[in-house]
Structure 1
Amino acid sequence: MPDPAEDLQKLLEALYCKPPHTPSVARPVLALSTKYEITHLRQLIIERLEADWPQTLDKWDELEDAIASRREAYKWRPHTPCVDDLFPEPASAMRLACDFNIPQILPPIFYHLLRIPIANDWALFHKDDPRATAEALLGGERTANWDLLRKRELLLMLPSRQELLGTMVSPGTMDFARAAKRDDELYFENRNVVMAAPSADNASEDTVFRIHKSVMAR
């Protein structure tokens, strides 16, 4: 079956203009650049994704500072794009990482997902009834497209999420005195667990539950 014309158009735009960095646009370009072995274009997209999802705590702190600055600025200029529109959505990035073998960005994605309340669904906040969630977005809330996550990914997340929630004094508010040390530990724990997890989606149920048990033992 021939490649969709729209996907080919995006591939040509990426080749002659600049590579996309948003997962929804990057997906068809990444798929075709992988299929036709356009190595340099695939690498450019991967490098952009790596920049979106820092590989070290120092770089992660820099990103957090940028998000905090943007969140504060948005309070005074609410008609500009909100924080959630300006920074990467994690679930779609995870799908790219899993589907196109980019495991190095999985640990920071998992770490970010741990901190997002389950109720903060991207579709609810941005599509279904934006008026109902305007106040949350104004406050700088982050969302995730939870429907994109699969069972094995949720199993990896749940134990560490429960532990992280234990450091919150109220929903979405961290007790930083308790959380500071644990926050760094969770980042590296998730890095170890995710990097050890099978990247292919055809992992057996036994493998999924083995990973789940290893996380629970931490």
Structure 2
Amino acid sequence: MHDDADELADLIGALYDSELPAMRPLDPRNPERARGAMKLARKYEVESVRARIIRRMEADWPQDVLEWLRLIGDIKRRTELRTMLCRTGTSSDPEPDAFVPEPASAVRFAREFDVPSILPAAFYTLALADIQQDWDETRVSRPFAAAQWRLLDQEDTMRLFRGKSKLRAAASAMVKVPFPGESYCTDCKDSRLPRVFSEKWSTYLTSGGFEGGVALADAPDIIGILLSCLELLEGRGSQFAGMCETHRILYRKFVSAKLHHEWESLSEKFQLR
């Protein structure tokens, strides 16, 4: 069978130009743009092009929780900037779509070309999306609120539903884990601060009630909840600014360990291994 002319042109272009295929950071069309070159790079074992495409896909779907948090922060800043420019009349497009990678197409790309490294982040993103919101039909104000659901096959759809259930269960189980440190501490500016923080921790985990968050039942963003706990502890002007250094370090380590553990367990939760 002859190769598709456009796909062959994509591969040849990528061989001679390291900037090709034309994939922009966080662009939801990256899987589509890379598909032709990737298909033939795999067929003809052109590892340099294949590796380049995988690196760019991995940049949009990080494997490390710190890189994921950095990416989320970048998307939020870009979204806020786009909205601000629209309000001032310097931009005609208020939507953040161009800055938000689309998860279902990433899953399909990973399945088609054997790129499992991007699956945990892509599935986690799908878990945060509203099943009623289709990427192609709905304009949404919250990043990662929609997806191209039609691209998921039956097996991956079931993995998604089971994974969401496990994320909720993980949040519920975390509430029952004994919180470190003492309930009251005379070294803190207010001796009740450790107890108040542990109560906030329980509230965040049971309701997803951090500022700007979505109900845990709708979007089990356990990574976002844990990050909010850290921000609550470390933020300027926080009610916990008077907490003693001993408890602050103890809580920071406790929450950070949970953050890393939950990210590293995504493959297991979504049955990706």
Q: Do they superpose with TM above 0.5?
A: yes
Larger Rg: 2
Computed over aligned residues only, the root mean square deviation of the Cα atoms, in angstroms, reads: 2.9
Deviation at 1:157, TM superposition (A): 1.1
Deviation at 1:49, TM superposition (A): 0.8
Q: How does 1:157-168 map to 2 (within 5 A)?
A: 157-162=160-165, 167-168=207-208
Deviation at 1:185, TM superposition (A): 5.3
Deviation at 1:161, TM superposition (A): 2.2
**For 1:58, which of 49, 66, 75 is the aligned residue?**
66
Amino acid at match of 1:52: D
2:53 is matched with: 45
For structure 2, the 5+ residue unaligned runs are 24-29, 87-91, 169-205, 227-254
Question: 1:69-119 CA deviation, whole Å, 9 max, x = no partner?
Answer: 112112212324632222321111111111111111111111111101112
Q: Quick one: distance in 2 between partners of 1:111 and 1:140?
A: 13
Q: Larger helix proportion, structure 1 or 2?
A: 1
Percent of residue pairs bearing the same amino acid type: 31
> SS of 1:63's equivalent?
helix
**For 2:40, which of 32, 46, 49 is the aligned residue?**
32
For structure 1, the 5+ residue unaligned runs are 126-132, 198-218
Amino acid at match of 1:155: M
> SS of 2:136's equivalent?
helix
Give the conservation status (yes or no) of the 8 Å contact 2:163–2:270: no
Larger displacement relative to structure 2 (174-183 or 92-101) = 174-183
Q: Quick one: distance in 2 between partners of 1:81 and 1:33?
A: 37
1:179 is matched with: 225
Using the size of structure 2 for normalisation, the TM-score is: 0.60
**For 1:108, which of 102, 108, 121 is the aligned residue?**
121
Greater length-normalized contact order (CA 8 Å, ≥ 6 residues apart): 1
Q: Quick one: distance in 2 between partners of 1:28 and 1:69?
A: 32
Question: 1:15-40 CA deviation, whole Å, 9 max, x = no partner?
Answer: 22223331001111101000011110
Quickly say closer, same or farther: Cα 1:147–1:172, change in 2 above 3 A: farther
Q: Quick one: distance in 2 between partners of 1:160 and 1:184?
A: 17
1:99 is matched with: 112
| Residue 268 of structure 2 corresponds to residue 192 of structure 1 | yes
Give the conservation status (yes or no) of the 8 Å contact 1:74–1:83: yes
| Residue 96 of structure 2 corresponds to residue 83 of structure 1 | yes
